[in-house]
Structure 1
Amino acid sequence: MLADQLDKMKYGKGFIAALDQSGGSTPKALAAYGISEEAYSNEEEMFDLVHQMRTRIITSPAFDSEYILGAILFEQTMDSKIKDIYTADYLANEKGIIPFLKVDKGLAEENDGVQLMKPIDNLSEILQRAKARHIFGTKMRSVIKKANPEAIQQVVEQQFSIAKEIIAAGLVPIIEPEVDIHSEDKERSEEILKEQLKKHLNQLEQDQLVMLKLSIPTQANFYLELTEHPNVVRVVALSGGYSREEANHKLKENDGLIASFSRALSQDLRADQTEEAFDNALKEAVQSIYEASI
């Protein structure tokens, strides 16, 4: 990892843009953008269209390092180019924005109230390619729907086990055990999750650094001690289904927590907007999320 990028991610003002919709979530992202499934006939065409959408976002003057610290990419986006430059290099060199890569392969079926990650069989190869593409860190997502202590322990153990492989490859992992915002026992799940996270963080070596991506907690500042842990570079929040307005409002109540929003960032963007309208909508989103993050 680059020392200046690490320093910026740890101390800089701003948020992380999540542009990492994958196979399962891409049709929804395109539909929200105004492109129906009738516009493409196969996966390749679908990914071409979503790369065009991401390119439009990234190249917009509103997508500015004054407000945005990093951006999370999907694997196909990492291997694609913007203006003949690989996406991560374009972000880092042209925009001054730190590139991350989503490495998980999606979620397994729900079991005991949680969804673990599917096996990442080619993780070593992905990490080698990520290093070659100048990626700073990675992201991987699990989901917690019920306050089941044993199952939540499994989620955190899986996350940290893979995180250690990512650290060994020289990258900074974003650990994302999302607590479903619609869970009936969300607050209890958060209590169990925090204890498990603290336990595993305390077992890391001094030079093993991670980031955490968590649902905005029910109780304000509930994760504050995690933001102060010496092994944690940053704690970021997902919008989790909240509207941007609601997510920003909840985020403002949490000191040390910054946004890593996906749908809440792009909810007002449409394929048929003029460049001026698109840039203005993105600028409004970026600035409001930035203000909530600082």
Structure 2
Amino acid sequence: MQVAMQRKTAGLTGRSQSRTQVRVYAKALNSMESPFAEELKKTAAYISQKGKGILASDESNATTGKRLESVGVENTETNRRDWRQLLYTAPGLGQYISGAIMFEETLYQKARDGQQFVDLLLAQGIYPGIKVDTGLQILPGDKGETTTQGLDGLADRCKAYRKQGARFAKWRAVIKIGEAGCPSTTAVLENAHGLARYAQICQENGLVPIVEPEVTLGPGDYSIEETAFWSERVYSHVFRLLNEYGVVLEGILLKPNMCLPGLDAPVASPKLVAEVTTRTMLRSIPPAVPGIHFLSGGMSEEESTLNLQALNEACPQAPWALTFSYGRALQSSTLKTWAGKESQWNAAQEILVKLAKANSEASTGSFKGPHPVPGGGRILQALRTGGAGK
């Protein structure tokens, strides 16, 4: 009898200890949350609201200069300012865009009339964001794989960016596929670690991190299934490390690639892209993430819209918003229309808003066409390495 009572008491004590351990563990998990946790969740939910996307306008001064020069506009601070002002002041843009990623120079710039760009964006209901990485660095070896730089001093920079009005941040990691030995385990783990540490630092300092693990579109005849395989593997490592670093998933946004075949393989139909991409996301992205903002990744303006439309048709009950964070797919025709001519200012803004509207409709599965910029080829750019000014 006494032995039985001892066993019963021991069992109760064990269960009590177990409950205590669970409570302690839960408290520990909560303590990992940023003091900005609730604000971060609200900001991420706002940016990923249905029917809106992100304007990626975070090109460096050098890259912006090359694009300006391609339409005969000199690369000066004034011309860069005018180009960004054209984008941010387009009438009605806020109906379709909820966030704009800026470069550091742009975050602190003022419009011609002296108003801060961040204030002009907020007046349209568009949250200002900031690119915080300082460029890609080639990893040792002969494969041309990269890691992303910029963790040094990031906390202080985030504090300054938030003070200036930024509410979210972006860090791009690039994973190369399509070549023997790529991606290497070193490249995957190095980039997953960088994204997790960046996200942790951003949340600690009040910025929603856009996590961008880009399985980059490149040369080769690799299949769409190979892109899906590596994308899923990369995402699994990224989210494992985000969890280990205590990142609040409800307070991040994901900016991944769509699953596409290599540039030397036949172009996949929007239906196939959607089937493979949504399958990959459902297998690897936690429902806690509020929004998946796909990058255009070299697709033409029309292709970007049609693929996004197909994604939402394929997965209408997705646990996250399936939307966009497009750069060239919103800017390319806009820039060609403007070409530095004051007389073309309004026409360029109209093209931008039409493109934003088309992608907004695609993000709800309601785009019917016609597309404002039909046809068009791939919009590719060379891999950029080096510092923030590259």
TM-score for both structures, normalised by structure 1: 0.87
Q: Deviations over 1:122-173 (max 9, x none)?
A: 3223112111112111001121112323321211111111211111111111
Q: 2:287 is matched by which residue type in structure 1?
A: H
Task: Say yes or no: does 1:76 pair with 2:114.
Answer: no
The separation in 1 between residues aligned to 2:152 and 2:166, in whole angstroms, is 20
The separation in 1 between residues aligned to 2:292 and 2:253, in whole angstroms, is 6
Match of 1:22 in 2: 60
Unaligned runs of 5+ in 1: none
Over 3 Å counting, the alpha-carbon distance change for 1:227 and 1:84 in structure 2 is farther
Task: Say yes or no: does 1:181 pair with 2:217.
Answer: yes
The separation in 2 between residues aligned to 1:189 and 1:27, in whole angstroms, is 34
Q: 1:20 is matched by which residue type in structure 2?
A: D
Match of 2:78 in 1: 48
Identity %, equivalent residues: 26
Over 3 Å counting, the alpha-carbon distance change for 1:225 and 1:291 in structure 2 is farther
Q: 2:190 is matched by which residue type in structure 1?
A: Q
- Do the aligned residues in 2 keep the contact of 1:73 with 1:101 (CA within 8 Å)? yes
- Do the aligned residues in 2 keep the contact of 1:175 with 1:212 (CA within 8 Å)? yes
Match of 2:325 in 1: 260
Over 3 Å counting, the alpha-carbon distance change for 1:215 and 1:135 in structure 2 is same
- Do the aligned residues in 1 keep the contact of 2:256 with 2:294 (CA within 8 Å)? yes
How far residue 187 of structure 1 moved from its aligned partner, in angstroms, is 3.2
Match of 2:161 in 1: 130
Match of 1:87 in 2: 117
Task: Say yes or no: does 1:164 pair with 2:200.
Answer: yes
Match of 2:348 in 1: 278
How far residue 62 of structure 1 moved from its aligned partner, in angstroms, is 4.2
Over 3 Å counting, the alpha-carbon distance change for 1:98 and 1:59 in structure 2 is same
Q: Work out which of the residue numbers 267, 288, 296 in structure 2 matches 1:239.
A: 296
- Do the aligned residues in 2 keep the contact of 1:18 with 1:261 (CA within 8 Å)? yes
Q: Deviations over 1:240-289 (max 9, x none)?
A: 11111111222223243211011110111222352332232122211112
Higher-Rg structure is 2
- Do the aligned residues in 2 keep the contact of 1:89 with 1:133 (CA within 8 Å)? no
Over 3 Å counting, the alpha-carbon distance change for 1:204 and 1:292 in structure 2 is farther
RMSD after superposition: 2.3
How far residue 75 of structure 1 moved from its aligned partner, in angstroms, is 0.5
Over 3 Å counting, the alpha-carbon distance change for 1:207 and 1:7 in structure 2 is same
How many residues are aligned here? 283
Q: 1:169 is matched by which residue type in structure 2?
A: N
Q: 2:353 is matched by which residue type in structure 1?
A: K
- Do the aligned residues in 2 keep the contact of 1:62 with 1:280 (CA within 8 Å)? no
Task: Say yes or no: does 1:291 pair with 2:361.
Answer: yes
Over 3 Å counting, the alpha-carbon distance change for 1:236 and 1:133 in structure 2 is same
How far residue 11 of structure 1 moved from its aligned partner, in angstroms, is 3.2
Match of 1:229 in 2: 287
How far residue 66 of structure 1 moved from its aligned partner, in angstroms, is 1.4
Task: Say yes or no: does 1:148 pair with 2:206.
Answer: no
Over 3 Å counting, the alpha-carbon distance change for 1:4 and 1:175 in structure 2 is closer
Q: Which moved more, 1:4-13 or 1:101-110?
A: 4-13
How far residue 206 of structure 1 moved from its aligned partner, in angstroms, is 7.2
Task: Say yes or no: does 1:119 pair with 2:150.
Answer: yes
Q: Work out which of the residue numbers 122, 128, 133 in structure 2 matches 1:99.
A: 128
Q: Which of the pair is proportionally richer in helix?
A: 2
Match of 2:91 in 1: 61
Which secondary structure state, in structure 2, belongs to the residue aligned with residue 214 of structure 1?
coil
TM-score for both structures, normalised by structure 2: 0.67
The separation in 1 between residues aligned to 2:99 and 2:114, in whole angstroms, is 21
Over 3 Å counting, the alpha-carbon distance change for 1:215 and 1:283 in structure 2 is same
The separation in 2 between residues aligned to 1:263 and 1:172, in whole angstroms, is 23
Over 3 Å counting, the alpha-carbon distance change for 1:80 and 1:5 in structure 2 is same
Which secondary structure state, in structure 1, belongs to the residue aligned with residue 255 of structure 2?
strand
How far residue 4 of structure 1 moved from its aligned partner, in angstroms, is 5.2
